[in-house]
A and B are shown apart, each in its own frame.
Chain A
Amino acid sequence: MKKALAVDDSATMRNLVKMALEPEGFSVDTAENGQQALELARRNTYNIVISDINMPVMNGLEFLREFRNFNRTTPVLMLTTETEAAKKEQAKKLGATGWIVKPFRPEDLVKVVKRVVR
């Protein structure tokens, strides 16, 4: 079974990712911030990581930087908002595979995920 990690401080968003990916055959782990996500990512191998940017404790970009220190092969998608254009560039530099602009629907996410995971 493919494994995904959804990182967002919003439960609604975490649930949305689950709703989108579980029917596609992913088992989805969730984390509320970058720190939790890092711990999970160190212990598990994921086929994809989907992370919000603005989060408490450790934000998505900090998480991405740390994550890429030990993992270069797992695609990471960032959840961005229209206003975070500058962050998109930053995320790319830090190793983000792609992004999806909020708000999005489950089916939009599935489409993007399929583009980066086989």
Chain B
Amino acid sequence: MKYLIKFRLGKSVFERAIDPRFYLEDLRELGNTEVEIIKEKIPEPEEEPTDEHVFHADVILETDRPKEEILELLEFILEDGVEVEELEGGEQSKEQEETREEEKKQGASEVPESLLENYKLETEEILSRLSSSLEELAQAPGSLELINEVFRSFHTLKGNTGLILSYGEEPNLKAIFEITHKAESVLQKARDGGIGLSSRQVEILQELVDRLDDLFLAFSEGREEDVEDVYELLEELGQSSEKSKDMGKGEGLPSDLSALLNVASQYIPLFRELCSKGEISEEEADFFRRALITLYKLTKELGFDQLNEKIKNLQNAFGNIDFKEFCEHLEELANDLQKLVESKREKKEEKKEDKKSFDTAKYISKSNYLRVEENLVKELMDIVGELSVFKEWMYLFVDKLQKTYSVPEASKELKDNIHRFRSLMEGLQRTVLEMRMIPLSTLFERFPKLVRDLSRVLNKKVKLNIEGGETKLDKVIVERIAEPMIHLIRNSIDHGIETLEEREKLGKPPEGSITIKAYQEGGSVVIEVADDGRGIDVDKVKKKAIEKGLHTQEELENMSEEEIVQLIFHPGFSTKDQATELSGRGVGMDVVASTLREFGGEVFVETKKMAGTTVKMVLPLTLAIRKILLVRIGDVIFGVPAESVGEVFKITRDKVKTLKGLRVVYHRDRVLELEFLSEKLGINSTANGSITLLIDNELTQGIVVDEVISTIDAVVKPIPDVIPTSDDISGVTILGDGSIVYVLEVLK
């Protein structure tokens, strides 16, 4: 097929950051194109688009793709002056369209796991938020703010549900979608029309949310929930909105039943009091008249015809008959009203009772969480840890069966089936680890108060932004990073963010900002604490580094600024000239760094003069089980945490060169300085021909061992403080055969 596509684009596309030339590229991908540029004047990136800016071109496209696809491609600029004309060969497209449609229909496929997980979590959150907002709304059905809040919850739930449904039909989700759709439109009307909701509508919404709970539970459990009753509710919800709208047009009277009940219960005692006087003043007579008018209107709107008739008669009688006689009739009305008030109250209470018992049921069925004592989880964790050690033993045993006990058949059989045991173990391990994960928000939610307090004490204005509180991390780690994080925030406010006057001089907004951001990156969780303060003074860091004897002037000159700022994490480093009351003396970033290192975390800093500092903490997801490389040096076996190793490779000894007294190898076009662990630890190496290098993640340093034996999952236990050890040893782990191995932190 051949198409002529005319571009007659002007200012309107350039104002929307559209580069029409992209479309020519896209069209080229669809088939053969002939492009004729008629007029092209595209604004420069910083230039304001004007009417002079145009893009006129004709493109002839020869393609086997359907017209729809071309139109879809051009969707964003179709109304801005693009025309697509079919030049020839339009017939065959029908068939293609059909197959295309079919393809679309077949779109049902598995929902990505993480998406579904996210959906479930957020839905639980939305539903619980909805039921508490509706509770509030029941107290104030007219509050537009609350209505908007409720609207948004339904809106979000609808959008999310629609997304999951787009992967395939599911009856419960379909019902959720319909309910949220209806609720959303009723709430939108109530919000935009400024009329609020009736208490009945709020009641219905509450019932609907309960049903949404049921539906969601049914969805999670994979069964189908009966939703017959929902449709009645939905219908009523829509109707009451019409009704309340009409009544809203009345004389500004509160218009529902609860209003009548309210008014009546106020009037009745007053009526009785005035009647008991026998005689009334002009003002009191006025009150009677107004009260009757109000009651008349309310009963009429609610369709209480009998009451309405009575009131009408009373209105006519007032002033025309004896006051005492009027009072007798009035008493009759008062009795009727009182009965009405009482009966409705009872009903309401009954409903409440009903609700209460229903709530309990809901609580029982909905409780997806189980509170467990932390110790139990820890115990389970330890058992799983031991089990995984046992798993390693099993592998050793397979070998032993074959080599030592010479039972190759048994060895083979065990070996063939051991993988099942392994995958079960891994599943168990993962589940237990997940049990220990808690969202970082549990820690982050303490910070707003901290920031407020600190900014008050330090007389600064600081705004705190928190992102990614939903990121989960091992509870133990969350607890242990609390102090370092508080320290970082304190540092930012105290040293980073300038005083109000300084900021004004610099033309910065008076309010400083701190952003805490958490996210998962591979097997780690990253937490960033960023401020928009003055940044770290690199010259000062240099001066301090020389003063403290960490580096010589010369060394520093060979380092990048980035490397130099990292020195603040060196023990005993502090940059501010005077330690202030809050930061304390001698406590610096090094405490942060050492705390993190204790459990395998790392910390980096990035700073821009006058623009701010970002501290990035990289934390392991969990403490408990780590991947350990088992390495051999001489006849001793050590462990090295796998996460600190970027690369492992074998080389022959003659590849090691000497450069300025250092032993190095050339690797990936870089010179890599080597450290021989055998020398460091005083063990005789037995590797003659070839040695094995472990290289760190940044590919800057390498350590030499004799060989790498294997990788294991192991529980690394810290060494008690009372045993003096080298800094290089971070803990011990027990192997399957019961032997104890030191875990070395040599690549940090």
Contacts and interface: CB of A to CB of B under 8 A. Distances in A.
Contacts of A56: 149, 152
A96 B122 contact: no
B718 interface: no
A95 B14 CA distance: 9
Contacts of A43: 532
Contact of A98 (B19, B75, B467): B75
Interface in B149-179: 149, 152, 155-156, 158-160, 162-167
Contacts of B121: 11
A43 B15 CA distance: 22
A87 to B, nearest CB: 12
Interface stretch (B112-120, B377-385, B688-696): B112-120
A106 B112 contact: yes
B649 interface: no
A15 B118 contact: yes
SS class of chain B's interface: helix, strand, loop or mixed?
helix
Contacts of A106: 112
A110 interface: no
Interface string A83-118: 100000000100111110011111000000001101
A102 B115 contact: no
B59 to A, nearest CB: 16
Contact of B159 (A31, A32, A103): A103
Contact of A81 (B49, B159, B166): B159
Contacts of A73: 17, 45-46
B15 A19 contact: no
Given A19-B112, A39-B513, A54-B155, A76 B17 contact: yes
B76 interface: yes
Nearest to A72: B17
B160 A10 contact: yes
B122 A12 contact: yes
Contact of B22 (A10, A13, A104, A118): A118
B163 A102 contact: yes
Contacts of B325: none
Contact of A12 (B75, B119, B155, B532): B119
Interface in A39-83: 39, 43, 54-56, 68, 72-76, 81, 83
Contacts of B75: 98
Q: Which of B23, B48, B152 has the most chain A CB atoms inside 10 A of its CB?
A: B152
A60 B298 CA distance: 42
B73 interface: yes
Given A36-B465, A97-B76, A12 B16 contact: no
B159 A75 contact: no
A74 B16 CA distance: 8
B156 A9 contact: yes
B18 interface: yes
A105 B156 contact: no
Given A102-B159, A118-B22, A16 B467 contact: no
B40 interface: no
Contacts, number: 103
B76 A115 contact: yes
Nearest to A43: B532
Nearest to B125: A11
Interface residues of B, number: 46
B155 A95 contact: no
B122 A97 contact: no
Q: Which of A9, A31, A76, A105 has the most chain B CB atoms inside 10 A of its CB?
A: A105
A43 B608 CA distance: 12
A9 B152 contact: yes
Interface string A3-14: 000000111110
B16 A115 contact: no
A25 to B, nearest CB: 15
B26 interface: yes
A57 to B, nearest CB: 11
B467 A95 contact: no
Contact of B115 (A12, A31, A74): A12
Given A9-B156, A36-B467, A115-B26, A95 B163 contact: no
A15 B115 contact: yes
B17 A103 contact: no
Interface in B1-54: 12, 15-19, 22-23, 25-26, 45-46, 48-49
Given A54-B155, A96-B16, A15 B114 contact: yes
B470 interface: yes
Nearest to B72: A111
A10 B159 contact: yes
A103 B152 contact: no
A10 B16 contact: no
The 10 closest A-B pairs by CB, nearest first: A103-B162, A98-B76, A103-B163, A103-B166, A12-B160, A10-B156, A15-B118, A12-B118, A75-B17, A97-B16
Interface of B: 12, 15-19, 22-23, 25-26, 45-46, 48-49, 73, 75-76, 79, 112, 114-115, 118-119, 121-122, 149, 152, 155-156, 158-160, 162-167, 185, 465, 467-468, 470, 513, 515, 532
Given A36-B467, A56-B149, A96-B16, 11 more contacts: A10-B122, A19-B112, A30-B468, A39-B513, A72-B15, A72-B17, A102-B159, A103-B163, A103-B165, A104-B166, A116-B22
14 contacts: A12-B118, A13-B163, A31-B467, A36-B465, A39-B515, A56-B149, A68-B15, A72-B15, A73-B46, A75-B17, A76-B17, A95-B17, A103-B165, A104-B166
